Amino acid sequence: MEKNDIQKKGLNSNQLKIIAIIAMTIDHTNKILLNPMRIMQLDFIFRIIGRITIPIMCFFISEGYFHTRNKKRYIGRLFIFSIISHFAYCFAFKHPMIPKNIFFETSVIWTLLWGLIALCIIKKNKINNVVKILLIFLIFCLCVNSDWGIFAIAAILAFGITRGNIKNQMVSLSIVSLTYMITQFMENHNIYQFIQYFGLFLTIPFLLKYNGERGNCKSLKWLFYIYYPLHLVILGIIRNLIIVI
């Protein structure tokens, strides 16, 4: 048996991304279709499951930075899909798309784009540290109204800075998650929401099983880019059909 035929134990990137997609779909289906019929227990469970998605997404944005041969093309691809996903996000979550409100809130793809740029800045040795801090602060400001804004930027940076030691990466994720949970609770005083965010920690056992491999299907990297806006549009259409009926 050849070395290439031997698969490492654990989960490859394709499998982890599929887990993230399933968790995201459950969460968005709950928010878009089931919220009007809100059953508190199910809503609570579905939201916790949905929290699994974002750390996995941030982890692979960080991994993508180190693996991609062309970072500019990677950034450009995320930018294009962030524009497409913005309109899908607004349609699915019923945010107004009139010009003055068009960027009142936007999707997580916009956040991931700027998280990648933030990591590029941090890793750029030629940039002065003070300038780096100012640029990262500006990026945080740009993502205040995007889905998972500050958390996702911080998680991507944490994963990138501690890369090479998976345990340190998980400790960093835990610190970022707990800090985010506390600040959200201080702002909203919502214990129900605070408990939901413990779902972020459910990602850790999955990421600890990451074996560093991509998986056999190379084209699967496009699945999330296409699936994210597509599933939002489909859920939005279903919701509108239910309302009409």
Predicted confidence (pLDDT) per residue in 214-233, tens digit: 877 777 778 888 999 999 99
Q: Find out whether 101 and 73 touch, Cβ atoms under 8 Å.
A: no
161-208 tens-digit pLDDT: 999 999 999 999 999 999 999 999 998 888 878 888 999 999 999 999
52: CB partners within 8 A, 6+ apart: 19, 20, 23, 199, 200, 202, 203, 206
In whole angstroms, give the CA distance from residue 61 to residue 74: 10
Half-sphere exposure of 107 (CA within 13 A, CB side): 28
What per-residue confidence (pLDDT) applies to 28?
95
In whole angstroms, give the CA distance from residue 211 to residue 214: 9
Length of the chain: 245
